[in-house]
Copies of this chain bind each other. A is one copy, B any other.
Amino acid sequence: MATWSAPGKVFLFGEHAVVYGRPGLAMAIQHRVSVTVRKKRSPGRVKSPYINECLGAMGVRATVYVRSQLPSSSGLGSSAAVTVATLAAINDEFGKGLTREEVAQKGYEIERKVQKGRASATDTYVSSFGGVVLIRGTEKKRLPPMNLPLVVGNSRVSHNTSLMVEKVGRERERHPGIVNPILDAIGAVTQEALLQLHDPRVLGMLMNTNHALLDALGVGHPALTRLVLAARAAGAFGAKITGAGGGGCMIALAPSRAKGSVAGAIRTCDAQAIMTTLDTEGARKEKDG
């Protein structure tokens, strides 16, 4: 029996714009998915297509238990975390000898297969390695760890990442004069954020700008705007949509003393609030049991 866990992720800056070659900044969060793998004794049916694919890809039969701190389909990378933790646990339990890079890569292939070609390599990379990750084209670079106290607000409005990505792509074809400069501005916000990672006040303002630009891209949602306004009014340095938008989650960067009141303000809007911070470990072995 082997138990591994892997973290969820948020986009700090640059979601959607990364699809078009602009830089983006993602980070692993301390909320995670734990997966226990036990060599098969009794036949059992596993419901998650991700776990089925992991078992198939690793060529094993096993019983798999999942415990998650991440709401699913909310843009926090729960499917990547399930996939990475499952692969890491199988790798351990069956002595397959994969490196962390190989787990991340195989995880991406599985995500891509299940999501019919539309998955991003960011989620599985961040979940495998943890930390703050700069994405530029297909290149990924881990940045030094920093103090980033976040409150995630889950609007519970269902959304579909690939539909939102397609929507932006359609708008970009129809109105390149509007959409391309918005993508440029988002890229410039990410660049500026890279120079300001030490200053949460400036980062917060840049998050506000990025939020408005995502709204201008057409991936906003009134429920997300309400959460963003509530978080700012409760003392956050800044707040924005995180992930594909159109529903799902927002994040607020808050001074440690204000995290509780920001979370409270989000809950007052009938949303789920998750107080979290940077995870620097990525996939890790847990004690069994």
Cβ-neighbour of A213 out of B192, B216, B225, B232 (below 8 A): B216
**Assuming A178-B185, A182-B185, A209-B216, what are 18 further A-B pairs, CB within 8 angstroms?**
A175-B192, A177-B185, A177-B191, A177-B192, A178-B188, A178-B192, A178-B209, A181-B181, A181-B185, A182-B213, A185-B216, A209-B218, A212-B212, A212-B213, A213-B216, A222-B232, A222-B233, A225-B229
A189 vs chain B, min Cβ distance (A): 6
* A229 x B226 contact (CB < 8 A): yes
Whole-angstrom distance from the CB of A182 to the nearest CB of chain B? 5
Residues facing B in A226-264 (CB within 8 A) are: 226, 229, 232-233
Dominant secondary structure of chain A at its interface with chain B = helix
CB-nearest residue of chain B relative to A232?
B222
At the interface, yes or no: A92 with Cβ under 8 Å from chain B? no
The answer to whether residues A222 and B216 also contact, given A181-B184, A188-B177 and a CB cut-off of 8 A, is: no
Is A93 close to B, CB under 8 A?
Answer: no
Instruction: Determine how many copies of this chain the complex contains.
Output: 2
Report the separation of the CA atoms of residues A191 and B215 in the bound assembly, to the nearest whole angstrom. 20
Least Cβ–Cβ distance between A134 and chain B, in angstroms? 17
